[in-house]
């Protein structure tokens, strides 16, 4: 799914299944828990990088509506087919704007957003690129950065491998799910990312095998 040229029915099936995984296996809860601690008020602008199905922006907007906070999200993905799919499925949420773009060359000035968020995105890059990306994303926020990604652990890898083989109908999910776990982070690697990037990351472990990395300004 990483390539900008990924397309077809299996890609759409993968987006649906990954939305389900985020909803029921802790992805949404991890992100919303981090934003609850930020003490959002009034109107808030969020950049979501590597948005995929834009299910996390939808969860943010729904939560914002429930607490009386207007959360407007610019949801960016590298793949134009994914962007078109996400735009169609977020039409009931005018607070969400889906845009195609490269995370390393985003057309936004420093401090353009209150918060920047990325879920299951950082692990796609080798350590030096991930550190550089953290620097860039932290520069785009006025208040804080929230990164939700995977904890690499044997107790996570095998259930994902077996579960996707048994339950998923998407070849992409069956392949990419276990590979994503292998690309996830041990605690020491997150600490090294913080050191290399200079971003003051705080780290919290959340079920199921998620790291939530936050940095406030």
Q: Is the pLDDT of residue 3 over 50?
A: no
Higher pLDDT, 34 or 173: 34
Residue 208 belongs to a domain: yes
CATH number at residue 94: 3.40.50.150
The answer, yes or no, to whether residue 8 has pLDDT greater than 70, is no
In a domain, 164, yes or no: no
**Residue 16 counted as domain residue:** yes
* Band (5; pLDDT cuts 50, 70, 90): very low
Q: Does 29 fall in a domain?
A: yes
pLDDT digits (tens, 9 = 90+) for 82-100: 999 999 999 999 999 999 9
Residue 162, Cα to own-chain centre: how many angstroms?
Answer: 23
By residue range, what is the domain housing residue 18? 9-149+186-216
| pLDDT above 60: residue 4 | no
- How many domains are contained in the chain? 1
Give buried/exposed letters for 40-53 (b at 16+ CB in 10 A, else e). beeebbbbbbbbbb
Q: Cis link prior to 208 (omega < 30° from 0)? A: yes
At residue 139, the pLDDT reads 98
pLDDT digits (tens, 9 = 90+) for 121-167: 999 999 999 999 999 999 999 999 999 999 998 888 777 778 787 77
pLDDT digit string, tens, across residues 39-87: 999 999 999 999 999 999 999 999 999 999 999 999 999 999 999 999 9
Whether 84 is covered by a domain: the verdict is: yes
- Is the four-CA dihedral 174, 180, 13, 2 of positive or negative sign? negative
> Using N-to-C axis directions, what is the helix angle for 171-183 and 154-167, rounded to 10°?
180
- Is residue 1 a part of any domain in this protein? no
CA dist 41 and 33 (Å) reads: 15
Q: Tell whether 162 is covered by a domain.
A: no
- Rounded to whole angstroms, the Cα distance separating 73 from 146 reads 14
Q: Is residue 178 part of a domain?
A: no
pLDDT digits (tens, 9 = 90+) for 193-206: 999 999 999 999 99
């Amino acid at each position: 799914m990483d390539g900008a040229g990924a397309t077809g029915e299996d890609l759409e099936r993968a987006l649906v299944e990954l939305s389900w995984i985020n909803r029921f296996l802790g992805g949404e809860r991890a992100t919303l828990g981090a934003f609850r601690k930020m003490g959002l008020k009034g109107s808030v602008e969020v950049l979501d990088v590597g948005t995929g199905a834009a299910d996390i922006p939808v969860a943010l907007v729904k939560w914002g509506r429930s607490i009386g906070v207007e959360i407007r999200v610019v949801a960016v993905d590298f793949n134009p087919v994914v962007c078109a799919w996400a735009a169609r499925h977020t039409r009931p949420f005018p607070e969400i704007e889906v845009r195609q773009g490269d995370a390393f060359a985003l057309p936004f000035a420093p401090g353009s957003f209150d918060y920047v968020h990325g879920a299951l995105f950082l692990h796609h890059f080798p350590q030096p690129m991930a550190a550089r990306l953290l620097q860039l994303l932290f520069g785009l926020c006025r208040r804080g950065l929230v990164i939700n990604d995977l904890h690499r652990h044997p107790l996570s890898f095998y259930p994902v491998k077996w579960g996707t083989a048994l339950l998923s109908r998407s070849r992409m999910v069956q392949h990419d799910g276990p590979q994503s776990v292998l690309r996830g982070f041990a605690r020491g690697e997150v600490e090294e990312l913080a050191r290399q990037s200079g971003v003051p990351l705080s780290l919290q472990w959340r079920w199921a095998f998620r790291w939530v990395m936050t940095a406030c300004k």
